[in-house]
Amino acid sequence: MVDLKGKTAAVTGSTSGIGLAIARTMAKAGANIVINGMGDPVAIEKERAGIETDFGVKCAYSPADMTKPAEIAEFIALGEKTFGSVDILVNNAGIQFVAPIEEFPIEKWDAIIAINLSAAFHAIRAVVPGMKKRQWGRIISTASAHSLVASPFKSAYVSAKHAIAGLTKTVALEVATSKITCNCVSPGYVWTPLVEHQIPETMKARNMTKEQVINDVLLDAQPTKEFVTSEQVAALMLYLCSDDAAQITGTNLSIDGGWTAE
């Protein structure tokens, strides 16, 4: 069992989906939590309070906009000010858009690169000094099977996720002697709002029905023919926070039902 008592985990994009599962899993292991994301304030407060009630830890909320470097720095500063440290950083915030390259809106490209890639850089840059000072840290980014392989109509997302894998390797080398590890986890298709919301776009781009998109596009990529669950992703990240995982760094760990084995 991984014991994170006395640690603080800051998780971007954690008011729903994979990020919320990660936050709750870290809290269950005893970590105080900083959640982040956008959405209905009442729903967010319910999730924040629920983490405290369910697991007996403290949970703060940051509304930091992941396209704004200053707000990302404030997100890390909030955790340090509130709990004394940010020991675990999970870069999970992400958005998606599906369109042919010649029709891909420039503003969508810019937003996806900002949130899926640049936000991780800014958060890592802000958190590393404290981790070095304490000589302990875990940095984990949610990449994707698309960090290893491509799919049509996802130029920005695939580019960002490939870059996350490269950023992970670089940071791991830089912090290797400070007892800080840096890894990324690459899920296949996880049934989350992000996946659900891209189905209509994919239906349009490929001229398919919803059922065809699910079975012939999404699950076709995964030999197990099952969606990965948010809880499975969170469990892998929790393991990376353990002492047993202290020598796992600079890696890209696939959890994709065999997608990238083909």
Pairing of strands 59-62, 88-91: unpaired
Distances from the Cα of 79 to the Cα of 19, 55, 90, angstroms = 17, 18, 13
H helices of the chain, in order, are 17-28, 41-55, 69-83, 106-113, 119-134, 155-174, 193-206, 210-212, 230-240
Among candidates 53, 45, 46, which has minimal Cα distance to 27? 53
Tally Cβ neighbours within 10 Å of residue 69. Answer: 17
Among candidates 35, 43, 145, 47, which has minimal Cα distance to 93? 35
Please indicate whether residue 157 is annotated as part of the active site.
yes
Q: Which amino acid is at 21?
A: A
Among candidates 160, 230, 235, 156, which has minimal Cα distance to 188? 230
Distances from the Cα of 180 to the Cα of 55, 77, 133, 155, angstroms = 26, 19, 11, 32
DSSP 3-state assignment of 184? strand
What are the backbone angles phi and psi of residue 148, rounded to the nearest 5°?
-120, -30
How remote is the C-alpha of 204 from its chain's centroid? 27
Pairing of strands 59-62, 32-36: parallel
Q: Could you give the CA distance from residue 188 to residue 254 in angstroms, rounded to a whole number?
A: 8
Active-site residue, selected from the candidate residues 61, 157, 189, 239: 157
Q: Which residues are catalytic?
A: 157
